Structure 1
Amino acid sequence: MNAQITNLISMYLALSDQTANQVMKVLAIYSMYFFPITFIAGIYGMNFYNMPELHQKYGYFFTLGLMAFIALLTFIYVRRKKW
């Protein structure tokens, strides 16, 4: 009887650990999407005087397009890995 209770508790803990691992996996994937975009936005937001996009007509839109392109590449990478 005692061994059955121990096995049930072990099974419950294993299932709860598996659920927590799935949640952590989803959170890691979402953070992977936003890390490169946050990096670009952080550099872009430092307000340097010699930033190329400040002197280009479409520099701002190029930067936003680059962020979207990186997010798209990350999405494709995640889909191919079947995460």
Structure 2
Amino acid sequence: IFLIIGGIFYFNSIITGSMKTILIIEPFISIIVTFGGIWLVRFIHPGFSYLVILSGILMYLSFIIMASTIFYELSIKSSRS
């Protein structure tokens, strides 16, 4: 899902520069941190559950921002042109 959304988001014209790069890369980092955090909760310490929560929140925020930008550019911005 994130690969497809990131590929489509790459071609948007609303968000550019380093913010675009961060939003494309961040979900992949969050997936690694989430599953690594689950392992840490299981084998190291239950306190790492906050890391899992934080990485999940960041992953979904980036997904919502990318999807909203894509839908905005496809529907609203294209109808104004």
Scaled to the shorter chain, the TM-score interval is 0.3 to 0.5
TM-score by length of 2: 0.38
- The two structures have a TM-score, normalised by structure 1, of 0.37
- Specify which structure has the bigger relative contact order, considering alpha-carbon pairs within 8 angstroms and separated by 6 or more residues: 2
